Amino acid sequence: MGHSAKVNDSEEAIAVRRRLAEVRERIARAAREAGRDPLEVTLVAVSKGQPLVRIEAALEAGQRVFGENYVQEAASRWPALRPRYPGIELHLVGSLQTNKVREAVRLFDVLQTVDRPKLALALAREMARAGRRLPVFVEVNLGEEPQKAGVPPAAVDAFVATCREEFGLDVRGLMAIPPAGEDVAPYAALLARLARRNGLSGVSIGMSDDFEVAIAFGATHVRIGTAIFGERTAKRQPERGSEPSSIS
């Protein structure tokens, strides 16, 4: 366990532990102020572009739910970490291309970005082949922004029904990234309303800058990176061989 001791003692690791404790307290406070049980809110620690020392610091502090944006980046570190830290739950929170479906189904525990029939079909086929029925979230483009992936709000009911009935997917919730710089409140409220209407318990919205407001308006999963880990050390380019995630 010498490696763990080194991780625990480094300045970087100490800073991560401190920020993680602060974020957990802020989540609990926001939930209580909204009249909710803090246990209703899952902290997804987004480790995209973060060095291993910071990720291990969060693991040592008991964090077990993590989010990754890229299949290849996740594949480079999580298979080695899982045996050392039991109970890890890994969420894919970035766009998933159909050519990465097989690896994603093998690596992840929850897929938060199902956004088109072609992907839903590919996932259904791969899950059947692999014997792994993973929970999924449908990604919603709340601001109907042309550059973003996601189902428009008006199409959510039909797409959720298609995922469930035609493809047999285990749809647990909805996920969204609201327009940059706008108040998250109306978007979180809309996402929560759409989820309720479809009998879904999961509402994944809210990031480092706005998670407390998102919790006040119904978020059950908040995706937080820099507020825990600090600024990313490397900018990651989209994976090679990817297709635009707006293709249906």
Reported as a single tens digit per residue, the pLDDT across 120-135 is 999 999 999 999 999 9
The DSSP symbol for 40 reads G
Q: How many domains does the chain fold into?
A: 1
Q: What is the Cα 114 distance to its own chain's centre?
A: 12
Count Cβ atoms below 10 Å from residue 134 Cβ, excluding itself: 18
Interhelix angle 11-33/2-9, rounded to 10 degrees, is 70
Provide the strand spans (E) within the chain.
Answer: 42-46, 65-68, 89-92, 110-114, 135-140, 170-176, 202-204, 221-224
Instruction: Note the pLDDT of residue 165.
Output: 98
Report how far residue 11's alpha carbon sits from residue 154's, in angstroms, rounded to the nearest whole number. Answer: 48
Question: Are 155 and 194 within 8 A, CB to CB?
Answer: no
CATH number, domain of 171, equals 3.20.20.10
* Residue 17: inside a domain: yes
* Residue 237: inside a domain: no
* Residue 140: inside a domain: yes
Band (244; pLDDT cuts 50, 70, 90): very low
Domain around 217 = 2-229
Of 48-57, 72-81, 109-118, 228-237, the one with minimum mean pLDDT is 228-237
Mean pLDDT (the chain, rounded): 93
Report how far residue 186's alpha carbon sits from residue 176's, in angstroms, rounded to the nearest whole number. Answer: 12
Bridge partners for 110 per DSSP: 91
Instruction: Note the pLDDT of residue 9.
Output: 78
* Residue 234: inside a domain: no
* Residue 168: inside a domain: yes
* Residue 23: inside a domain: yes
pLDDT in tens, 156-207: 999 999 999 999 999 999 999 999 999 999 999 999 999 999 999 999 999 9
Q: pTM for this structure? A: 0.91
* Residue 71: inside a domain: yes
